[in-house]
Chain A
């Protein structure tokens, strides 16, 4: 009995200690820079936060930024603070940081997926920058008068981007690439920087199957709940939307054979093919889309914002999502089994390409209701496929999900692969060995392995660098908060920091996987004009006066900032 009392006391002691440590954690963090009462002795000390579980190169990039800034600006000290991505996001969203290294990947093929982030009050506007002209421009381009004039809209988006760059709201760093190893005999895998990163419908391999590496676990196969690229990949293997991506990323007919667009570009009538079926034999109908879209409206999920007036502009989506409107008023209607009418609140130039994003995929109502929301998509038995592949092996958390060819697919004749075996590889440490061993046919290797691959005459032929879409950038908090003294509200200080970064050096020496140094707040490669097909950010020198590697200019900005801030 005494022994238990002792154990009890010990446990309580540990608890108290742990609780104290956790609560006192704030006290150990660096004090807000320069906030001391000892004015005149102010030092320019700032903290840079970054994730320690977001890729091998991130810590190196953070260290390099620190070195470059401290070298460029005498008197500036940068403290590095690594933390989990969860903690980093938490700090950024609650405005408890000074400088953060963060990233954003495009959700859809339009510059708005980036530009929408810096409007006043948007959750991703981590710097709390606010500019009325910018807000007006963005509103006009997404759902206002410019929405219908695609060329004018495109030009206005440039103007909006210029406002962000001129004010150095963020410092773009690099657009991430994936260094893929692809086995001999594997052809036709399509890589995209946006929405669906790898598409296998037209792929072939010598063995008839593919062994593909995943970097993370599949989080969900429910099209409404999934948020990560790996989940989207399996979902898109198995489910066709109204449209699908072709090799160049353009929207091509899938379940929708064709579509009519009204003269005001605000009503889309999709004509569905009649030979598409779910793998339980039921036909794919317009109601499957109407049901899925309305479900997304009510389910409080990550991607339902793609229906609202910042992106898809589906009629009444804003009212339903943000003002408690009736979900039945959503502008989607199954006119008959094979005709789906979608009404928009404003013209959306990229609307057909939104349709290949999983949030817009169909869900069969009867099946969904028979398995129940909690179980839907948690096993091959509780998941329905209408696409090129069916789910053959899956449990939540599995490291080796598998899909097999769907013989009932309407386009089964053109699908060559018999199946795809995925394997979650935690870190790319042993991916290279597994690739050499032929355990993996498609693997992604890290930057430091790319050199080894390039030095190897046979392996280097298997290397294919593709755009991963997302951009790493630095964001500065422009407010006074628990961590920051608000120095970065000074535009010249932000400009100084932006222009002191040698991005090519960072990419060549630390990232090393073919990532592109980036000087625009909308990265290149993913957004092409609806009328001309031109890449929005092909010209990386357009903001050279405010964003380039220019130490002289940086130091000029810095001196102005230092005198304005009273250092």
Chain B
């Protein structure tokens, strides 16, 4: 198992390096100027480009970037965004906002989704099943921004329970609506998957055998049904988590949240294209995906020993 994990980690690092290289190249062939200016002379802009090392050959630039990243852990300074402020002064706040709101959305989405899914599966064909199915279909079909505007209209305008915009000084109070809007899709997806997987497992022979042996209730559900149904569900949840942590762009725009989704869009569609921000955020996104997938692989092993054995043999 340890050998397997080490191999996975090394592969993950190599993947991240490749992704960084690709991002590094792509961002430089993007249209748009890293030093947007309608007033500076060409000479002044050329000086700025030189200061940022953009005149060096691509491989030298990449090597310097990686070297700085590894030795100092710094993503450098921005160029177009926030007038060249160090990325380290902007990114942590944005990450903290996005991750905290995403975290609430995950907790809510996964918990409520699981509960709804289990309730639906256990009451197949009855009210809870229909309720859960309808809710999931609505949740999957209605884009989160529609739900979000709906929430904002009713709970911030018609009835003023929650503030209209996000305010980091009143975090929990103002984060509830954005988190709810975000969690709708994942909640529905988890509920739908849980129901389907559980129904499949419940029809299998070993569950029939278990109940024939006299097992029933919570023990049957958690030990035999849920555990076997969880593997495919975990596969669905993992990318949802990354999406929730990073993909809250529209929600961040509408609620005025200073998060990484908004930062990513600002760094591309602002006055100019900010190479270092795009890169830093790209690396962050990739790293998140890779880490979550790594955890997922390990989680598989814990949930189902067969996977662990076969994987370690393969590796």
Q: Does B165 lie within 8 Å of A19, measured CB to CB?
A: no
Given contacts A86-B272, A423-B165, contact A433 B157 (CB under 8 A): yes
Query: Any chain A CB within 8 A of the CB of B263?
Result: yes
CB distance from A350 to the nearest CB of B (A): 18
CB distance from A470 to the nearest CB of B (A): 11
Query: Any chain A CB within 8 A of the CB of B214?
Result: no
Q: Does A19 lie within 8 Å of B89, measured CB to CB?
A: no
Bound Cα distance from A393 to B44, whole angstroms: 33
Query: Any chain B CB within 8 A of the CB of A398?
Result: yes
Residues from chain A with a CB closer than 8 A to the CB of B11 are 4
Q: Does B168 lie within 8 Å of A93, measured CB to CB?
A: no
**Number of B interface residues, CB 8 Å?**
65
Q: Smallest CB-CB separation from B44: which chain A residue?
A: A300
Bound Cα distance from A396 to B271, whole angstroms: 17
Residues from chain A with a CB closer than 8 A to the CB of B31 are 25, 83-84, 86-87, 90-91
Bound Cα distance from A436 to B165, whole angstroms: 14
Q: Does A86 lie within 8 Å of B80, measured CB to CB?
A: yes
Q: Does B43 lie within 8 Å of A11, measured CB to CB?
A: no
Query: How large, as a class, is the contact surface on chain A?
Result: 35 or more
Q: Smallest CB-CB separation from A102: which chain B residue?
A: B38
CB distance from A311 to the nearest CB of B (A): 10
Q: At the interface with chain A, which of B120-128, B148-156, B183-191, B194-202?
A: B148-156
Interface residues of A in 1-38 (CB under 8 A from B): 1-2, 4, 7-8, 11-12, 15, 18-19, 22-23, 25
Q: At the interface with chain A, which of B133-141, B217-225, B240-248, B254-262?
A: B254-262
Partner of B48, one of A83, A90, A300, A397: A300
Q: Does A398 lie within 8 Å of B93, measured CB to CB?
A: yes
Query: Any chain B CB within 8 A of the CB of A328?
Result: no
Q: Does B156 lie within 8 Å of A437, measured CB to CB?
A: yes
Residues from chain A with a CB closer than 8 A to the CB of B37 are 123, 302
Query: Any chain B CB within 8 A of the CB of A79?
Result: no
Bound Cα distance from A357 to B133, whole angstroms: 61
Q: 1/0 per position for B257-278, CB-CB distance to A under 8 A? A: 1100011001011111100000
Q: Does A220 lie within 8 Å of B85, measured CB to CB?
A: yes
Query: Any chain A CB within 8 A of the CB of B169?
Result: yes
Q: Smallest CB-CB separation from B157: which chain A residue?
A: A437
Given contacts A85-B271, A86-B36, A124-B38, contact A374 B29 (CB under 8 A): no
Q: Does B156 lie within 8 Å of A395, measured CB to CB?
A: no
Given contacts A300-B47, A397-B94, A426-B253, contact A89 B38 (CB under 8 A): yes
Q: Does B39 lie within 8 Å of A433, measured CB to CB?
A: no
Partner of A219, one of B25, B83, B152: B83
Q: Smallest CB-CB separation from B174: which chain A residue?
A: A400
CB distance from B14 to the nearest CB of A (A): 8
Partner of B41, one of A217, A226, A322, A436: A322
Bound Cα distance from A321 to B39, whole angstroms: 13
Given contacts A220-B85, A399-B257, contact A22 B26 (CB under 8 A): yes
Query: Any chain A CB within 8 A of the CB of B75?
Result: no
Partner of A434, one of B44, B51, B165: B165
Q: Does A439 lie within 8 Å of B85, measured CB to CB?
A: no
Residues from chain B with a CB closer than 8 A to the CB of A462 are none
CB distance from B60 to the nearest CB of A (A): 19
Bound Cα distance from A124 to B39, whole angstroms: 7
Q: 1/0 per position for A394-429, CB-CB distance to B under 8 A? A: 011111100000000000000000000001111101
Bound Cα distance from A356 to B82, whole angstroms: 22
Q: Does A302 lie within 8 Å of B40, measured CB to CB?
A: yes
Partner of B165, one of A2, A91, A400: A400
Query: Any chain B CB within 8 A of the CB of A305?
Result: yes
Q: 1/0 per position for B7-44, CB-CB distance to A under 8 A? A: 00001000100110010011001111100111111111
Query: Any chain A CB within 8 A of the CB of B164?
Result: yes
Bound Cα distance from A424 to B166, whole angstroms: 10
Partner of B18, one of A8, A374, A375, A436: A8
CB distance from A527 to the nearest CB of B (A): 18
Bound Cα distance from A89 to B90, whole angstroms: 26
Residues from chain A with a CB closer than 8 A to the CB of B263 are 397
Query: Any chain B CB within 8 A of the CB of A378?
Result: yes
Q: 1/0 per position for A73-114, CB-CB distance to B under 8 A? A: 000000000011111011101000000000010010000000
Bound Cα distance from A225 to B78, whole angstroms: 13
Q: Does B85 lie within 8 Å of A11, measured CB to CB?
A: no
Q: Does A23 lie within 8 Å of B82, measured CB to CB?
A: no
Bound Cα distance from A86 to B166, whole angstroms: 28
Q: 1/0 per position for B48-84, CB-CB distance to A under 8 A? A: 1001000000000000000000000000010011111
Q: Does A430 lie within 8 Å of B149, measured CB to CB?
A: yes
CB distance from A213 to the nearest CB of B (A): 10
Residues from chain A with a CB closer than 8 A to the CB of B160 are 437
Q: Does A439 lie within 8 Å of B271, measured CB to CB?
A: no
CB distance from B61 to the nearest CB of A (A): 16
Given contacts A430-B152, A433-B153, contact A399 B29 (CB under 8 A): no
Residues from chain B with a CB closer than 8 A to the CB of A439 are 156, 163-165
Bound Cα distance from A18 to B81, whole angstroms: 25
Residues from chain A with a CB closer than 8 A to the CB of B38 are 89, 104, 123-124
Q: Does A11 lie within 8 Å of B48, measured CB to CB?
A: no
Q: Does A86 lie within 8 Å of B254, measured CB to CB?
A: no
Query: Any chain B CB within 8 A of the CB of A222?
Result: yes
Query: Any chain B CB within 8 A of the CB of A174?
Result: no
Q: Does A378 lie within 8 Å of B83, measured CB to CB?
A: no
**A90, A91, A107: which has the most chain B beta carbons within 10 Å?**
A90
Interface residues of A in 343-378 (CB under 8 A from B): 374-375, 378
Query: Any chain B CB within 8 A of the CB of A526?
Result: no
Residues from chain B with a CB closer than 8 A to the CB of A329 are none
CB distance from A234 to the nearest CB of B (A): 14
* 16 more A-B residue pairs beyond the given contacts A86-B271, A400-B165, with a C-beta to C-beta distance below 8 A: A1-B314, A15-B22, A84-B31, A85-B269, A302-B37, A302-B40, A305-B41, A322-B43, A378-B85, A395-B89, A397-B94, A400-B256, A426-B262, A433-B157, A437-B156, A439-B156
In the A-B complex, the 4 residue pairs with the closest CB atoms: A86-B32, A220-B83, A399-B256, A225-B83
Which of B's residues lie within 8 Å of A, judged by CB? 11, 15, 18-19, 22, 25-26, 29-33, 36-44, 47-48, 51, 77, 80-86, 89-90, 93-94, 149, 152-153, 156-157, 160, 163-169, 253-254, 256-258, 262-263, 266, 268-273, 314-315
**14 A–B contact pairs at CB < 8 A?**
A11-B15, A53-B269, A86-B31, A86-B32, A89-B33, A89-B38, A124-B39, A300-B48, A375-B89, A378-B89, A397-B258, A397-B263, A426-B262, A439-B164
